């Protein structure tokens, strides 16, 4: 990963500075999968990169028949994984839109995930894709000891993901989202799960950000002093600890972890830690993500507002 200077505009593409992925996205939009196979094949032992690339590519391919053609012509583990990723995206979109095809698409997605898992038994990514759909049915396995609210959820499926990769970033985020209020959970359960999972993770892990994600998710602008929550000692200390322990590791990533950096920058700005936030924005370079900024308004406006609070340049109007 190479941090780049901000040159007056934001780059919103989810590939960020993964040049290979950005190039392959162009190919996928053109209906070609050869380079997609190569980009994924090289990640067979790098599960973080595999999750990132397959998810971004699926968003490019979901509206086409590319993955079906690929799987029919070259049934590799990568083709099966991409079919699973695309099928899950289609199922979730249909469910959220209350589309009458939602149940059928979900069955297809479950079949796709099972096929991908069978073709690559050590790969957690198909199981993480399946975990993304767990919120549709409110799976209610009992919680392990150590959680104050003991919220039931898809614990068995999550445990299997952990058996393949104990610190899988997307797996943790997918699991946490099952407890969000918009998916039938509660604020207290989400905070409880986020704290439980983050405390298990190493001090320099990006998973330490999970409580900050839950905090954004619980944001309610109608509450008194809602924007001052991040100034509370527990949240400032959480953000500062992540800044001290995780941020120095970002230079070793194979791509800029824009979303994680955005959550940290946001928490530091809201917690009145502008000096530390500047360093996080420097690590982000020009790359931007809609979350968490979109929770508070137009994402570009909110990002620019946060950068101005740190004395940093923002894009010129027009």
Per-residue pLDDT of 156-167, as tens digits, reads 999 999 999 999
Radius of gyration of the chain (CA): 20
State residue 284's pLDDT score.
Answer: 96
State residue 2's pLDDT score.
Answer: 43
Residues with pLDDT less than 50, the chain: 1-3
- CA-based nearest residue to 70, from 53, 56, 55, 85: 85
Q: List, as own/partner pairs, every contact residues 290-299 make where C-beta atoms lie below 8 angstroms and the sequence separation is at least 24, other chains included.
A: 290/12, 291/216, 291/259, 291/262, 291/263, 292/213, 292/216, 292/262, 292/263, 292/266, 293/262, 293/266, 295/216, 295/217, 295/219, 296/219, 296/221
With beta carbons less than 8 A apart as the criterion, state whether 153 and 125 touch. Answer: no
State residue 1's pLDDT score.
Answer: 47
pLDDT in tens, 73-111: 999 999 999 999 999 999 999 999 999 999 999 999 999
State residue 63's pLDDT score.
Answer: 93
State residue 4's pLDDT score.
Answer: 53
State residue 235's pLDDT score.
Answer: 97
């Amino acid at each position: 990963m190479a941090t780049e200077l901000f040159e007056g505009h934001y780059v919103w593409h989810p590939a960020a500075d993964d040049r290979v992925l950005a190039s392959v996205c162009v190919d996928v939009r053109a209906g070609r999968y050869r380079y997609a196979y190569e980009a994924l094949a090289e990640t067979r032992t790098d599960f973080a990169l595999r999750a990132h690339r397959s998810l971004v590519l699926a968003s490019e391919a979901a509206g086409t028949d590319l993955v079906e053609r690929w799987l029919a012509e070259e049934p590799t583990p990568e083709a099966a994984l991409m079919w699973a990723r695309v099928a899950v995206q289609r199922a979730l979109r249909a469910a959220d839109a209350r589309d009458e095809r939602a149940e059928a698409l979900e069955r297809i997605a479950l079949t796709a995930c099972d096929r991908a898992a069978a073709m690559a038994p050590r790969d957690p990514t198909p199981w993480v894709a399946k975990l993304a759909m767990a919120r549709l049915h409110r799976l209610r396995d009992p919680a392990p000891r150590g959680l104050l609210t003991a919220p039931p959820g898809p614990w068995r499926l999550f445990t299997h993901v952990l058996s393949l990769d104990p610190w899988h970033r997307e797996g943790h985020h997918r699991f946490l989202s099952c407890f969000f209020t918009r998916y039938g959970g509660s604020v207290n359960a989400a905070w409880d799960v986020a704290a439980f999972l983050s405390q298990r993770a190493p001090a320099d892990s990006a998973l330490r950000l999970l409580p900050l994600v839950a905090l954004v998710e619980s944001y309610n602008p109608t509450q008194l002093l809602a924007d001052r929550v991040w100034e509370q000692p527990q949240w400032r200390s959480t953000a500062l600890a992540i800044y001290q322990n995780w941020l120095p590791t970002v230079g070793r990533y194979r791509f800029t972890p824009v979303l994680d950096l955005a959550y940290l920058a946001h928490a530091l700005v809201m917690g009145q830690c502008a000096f530390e936030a500047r360093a996080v924005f420097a690590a982000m370079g020009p790359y931007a993500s809609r979350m968490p900024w979109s929770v508070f308004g137009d994402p570009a406006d909110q990002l620019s507002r946060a950068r101005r609070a740190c004395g940093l340049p923002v894009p010129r109007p027009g």
